[in-house]
Amino acid sequence: MDGKEPAAAEHGLSHLVHDARVVVCLGPGGVGKTTSAAAIAVAAALAGRRVAVLTVDPAARLKDALELPRDPGRLHRVPLPEDAPGTLDAILLDAKGLFDGLVRRLSPSPALAERVLANPVYRNVAGAFAGSDAYMALEQLLDIVHGEDFDLVVVDTPPASHALELFDAPERILALLNSRALEYLGEPVRILGGASSRLARTLLSAVLSGLERMTGLSLLRDVSTLATDFGVVSPEFKKRAQAIRDLLRAPDTRYVLLAAPDPHGATDVLAFAAEVDRAGVAIDAVIVNRVLQDGLATRRSAHGIDTRPASDDGTSPHAVRRWPSHLARNLVACARDLATLRAAQQEIIDRLRGGLAAIDGGGRRGAPAERVWVLLPALSPAPTSLDGVVALARALEVGRPRSTTAA
Amino acid sequence: MAAPRLVIVTGKGGVGKTTVAAGVARAAVAARRRALLVEIATPGKLASVLDVPALAAEPRVVAEGLAAVALDEGRALEELVHGLMPLRLLSRRLLSSETFRVVAAAVPGILQAALLAQVVSWLEERDRRGRPRYDVVVLDSPASGHSVPLLATPRTLSGLATVGPLGEVMRRTSRWLGDPELTRALVVAIPEDWAVAEAVELYESLRDGLAIPVGRPLLNAVFPRRFSRTEEALLEEAEAGHTVDPELLASGRYFVERRRAALAHGKVLREETRARPLELPFLFARGMTWDDLDPIADAIAPALA
């Protein structure tokens, strides 16, 4: 591995848009996951596919652009341009409602479900089981993939500082359900393993009831009731966790990593990518957002700027002389700052390329040559209308900045 | 108002919270106050911003007047349980049990309580002369989705934990978080829709929902103003290639555009929070170290006065 990745930006994300069955957008917070997920979904719908996009935390304007309804947790048809050959449905993740819904659906009786839902410890135990909203996003994904008839589902993942929150979620739930933890919860004194002496039991009971007193919860009773009740539901959860695990590693599930060329962002992104690799999947495309666009502060600017006007058309530099001299100086300062920024961004992008190439290995395909890089310009405002999302969609598909594709 | 002893830096992911938190610490150190920087969210980030080796779970001096620590959930829970249990041997035994962790995690807010209790213990730590060991503790708090539940913990628990040591810990934490003389939360945004919307929501839920003293909102990564109105007009009218180098012109226009975006977002922030945002400069340089944080520290000083 030479630590370099080929700059294969020519074909953009078109292969994902056309072939994938699931596209997962990954990355640390604030890098444009939600917007990119929406754009990829729109691109696929414009290419004739029946698409669903699961979005987690859209900004108000994106919500408006996709005409997302206020009620989360339900698929909603997005009005595409008339001539669009495909369809697009969007759904806003409702983690709270989803888990409650699952408990209801998987419980053998409504009474049991209601008892679980009413348990004061349920929400927190549910949190411990689920790990995070990430798991809920995956449950929702599974529902859509299995329950509905779509060619492609695009997933925007919840803000997480660790990719593992996503990939470990099914494993964690499986491990927990397979372990004896639930039994122990049913009879907390067994926590102390071999400690069967009366003294140990007495002490432990004292501690746990102390914990109850401190929190004001009837913790022991609630936990053990919940454990018993949840034990009934858990085989169904096991099945689903296994299905999610398989779906995440299916060959037509593709991964897009979002990044921003911020000074300390590369550390985040590479740590994220390493975790993704350890989870055994490959990153198929990288979108670097907020890159300074061309036509500003190139190498020439960095190495001394000619403040005189260009004279290739024969005009004399009078015009600029009529400008106040500090204006010319300030223009030069702007170009210098941008040149510094461009160099810094380039360094970070190089670090990302090198870092990703070095990480590759355990991944499913692990073939960096196939990986696509798309650099999006810094000044592209967040899409505020469907047209804006469509323009971004076309830019992502062909892998060129919007300025050259959006008319 | 006195300079706060606890500064909580928060905002949506990607707005530069860690850099801002480091800037707050830099400003404190410049005012000859001893600072402790606490990282909760993303391990490694603070060390990268400060350009120092990885942080430990114990506060360590990383620069003159500055200590830093990476707060660890498991460790904090351990400390809490040790503090609450009479027998060290038993608490250790209990903590080594995976199942206990599950049970403990089922106690609403216990992890958050443990994190806050650690922070308070550092705030109340004294040196040999009996003065606070740290004049200011700066929290690089997790992204907004996690920081509201974290800061709400004393409230959530105070209704429940009225007796016992945990109740006492939460009451102490509440006293810190609610006192405008002691605590200030700083909400960070950058000039982008999503960041500003989130900052407004966060600002309101901290100030109105949790009654935590909130400082002026911070608008981070703002391009400097380089041109007057007249000059901006001149730049707009100028014809590239004809009167000025096209690249220079484009650079100037880019600054004007970014500046305008910042103004527009600053206005939204001001109108929605009814507080005057403080602009923090965009940093163009590539590698940054503790010593390069002065521009941020200088700009942030008014929010700490």
Q: What is the ipTM of this complex?
A: 0.86
Distance set, CA A189 to CA A81, A186, A201, A202 (Å): 63, 9, 6, 9
User: pLDDT higher for B188 or A103?
Assistant: B188
Q: What is the distance between the alpha carbons of residues A112 and B9, in angstroms, rounded to a whole number?
A: 43
Q: What pLDDT shows up at residue A173?
A: 63
User: What residue of B is the nearest CA neighbor of A129?
Assistant: B102
Q: For A368-383, write each residue's pLDDT tens digit.
A: 557 888 888 765 566 7
Q: What pLDDT shows up at residue A323?
A: 64
The model's confidence at residue A43, banded by pLDDT at 50, 70 and 90, is very high
User: What residue of B is the nearest CA neighbor of A382?
Assistant: B193
**Which stretches of chain B score pLDDT less than 50?**
none
Mean pLDDT score, A357-372: 63
Q: What pLDDT shows up at residue B275?
A: 96
Distance from CA of B91 to the nearest CA of A (A): 9
Sign of the C-alpha dihedral, residues A261, A266, A268, A270? positive
Contact A282, A163 (CB under 8 A): no
Mean pLDDT score, A335-344: 89
Partner residue opposite B226 with nearest CB, options A208, A223, A334: A334
Q: What pLDDT shows up at residue A3?
A: 41
Question: Between chains, do B242 and A127 touch, taking CB under 8 Å as contact?
Answer: no
Phi, psi of A324, deg, nearest 5 = -60, 145
The burial of A313, by beta-carbon neighbours within 10 Å (0-12 exposed, 13-18 middle, 19 or more buried), is given as: exposed
Q: For A290-318, write each residue's pLDDT tens digit.
A: 888 777 765 444 344 444 444 444 443 43
CB atoms within 10 A of CB B9: 30
User: Which of A20-24, A121-125, A212-216, B259-263 is the least confident region?
Assistant: A212-216
Distance from CA of B49 to the nearest CA of A (A): 7
Q: How many residues does chain A have?
A: 407
Residues of A with Cβ-Cβ distance to B285 under 8 angstroms: 263, 340, 344
Q: What is the distance between the alpha carbons of residues A150 and A147, in angstroms, rounded to a whole number?
A: 9
Residue A113 pLDDT > 50? yes
Q: What pLDDT shows up at residue A312?
A: 46
Question: Between chains, do B42 and A319 touch, taking CB under 8 Å as contact?
Answer: no
Distance from CA of B217 to the nearest CA of A (A): 18
Question: Between chains, do A184 and B192 touch, taking CB under 8 Å as contact?
Answer: no
Distance from CA of A315 to the nearest CA of B (A): 7
The model's confidence at residue A241, banded by pLDDT at 50, 70 and 90, is confident
Question: Between chains, do A313 and B241 touch, taking CB under 8 Å as contact?
Answer: yes
Q: What pLDDT shows up at residue A329?
A: 84
**Which of the residues B19, B99, B234 would you substitute to probe the A interface, choosing the one with the greatest number of A C-beta atoms within 10 Å?**
B99
**What is this structure's pTM?**
0.83
Averaged pLDDT of chain A? 75
Mean pLDDT score, A38-64: 87
The residue assigned the tokens 């700059």 is: A7
Contact A310, A392 (CB under 8 A): no
Distance from CA of A85 to the nearest CA of B (A): 31
Mean pLDDT score, A225-240: 74
User: Which of A15-29, A75-89, A191-205, B224-238 is the least confident region?
Assistant: A191-205
Contact B73, B112 (CB under 8 A): no
User: What residue of B is the nearest CA neighbor of A345?
Assistant: B286
User: pLDDT higher for A19 or A297?
Assistant: A19
Residues of A with Cβ-Cβ distance to B148 under 8 angstroms: none
Going by the DSSP 8-state scheme, the letter that residue B183 receives in this structure is: E
Residues of A with Cβ-Cβ distance to B248 under 8 angstroms: 301, 305, 307, 331-332, 334-335
Mean pLDDT score, A96-124: 80
Listing DSSP states for A26-62 in one string gives E-STTSSHHHHHHHHHHHHHHTT-EEEEEESS--HHH
Q: What is the distance between the alpha carbons of residues A43 and A58, in angstroms, rounded to a whole number?
A: 18
User: Which of A336-345, A358-367, B4-13, B76-85 is the least confident region?
Assistant: A358-367
Within 8 A by CB and 6+ apart from A157, the residues are A24, A25, A26, A27, A33, A56, A134, A137, A166
Distance from CA of B284 to the nearest CA of A (A): 5
Question: Between chains, do B245 and A305 touch, taking CB under 8 Å as contact?
Answer: yes
Q: Is A156 helix (H, G, I), strand (E, B) or coil?
A: strand
Partner residue opposite B193 with nearest CB, options A59, A208, A295: A59
Question: Between chains, do B165 and A320 touch, taking CB under 8 Å as contact?
Answer: no
**Which of the residues A209, A215, A318 would you substitute to probe the B interface, choosing the one with the greatest number of B C-beta atoms within 10 Å?**
A215
User: pLDDT higher for A404 or B165?
Assistant: B165
Residues of A with Cβ-Cβ distance to B110 under 8 angstroms: 215
Q: What is the distance between the alpha carbons of residues A54 and A74, in angstroms, rounded to a whole number?
A: 10
Going by the DSSP 8-state scheme, the letter that residue A348 receives in this structure is: H
- Kind and range of the H or E element at A258? strand A253-259
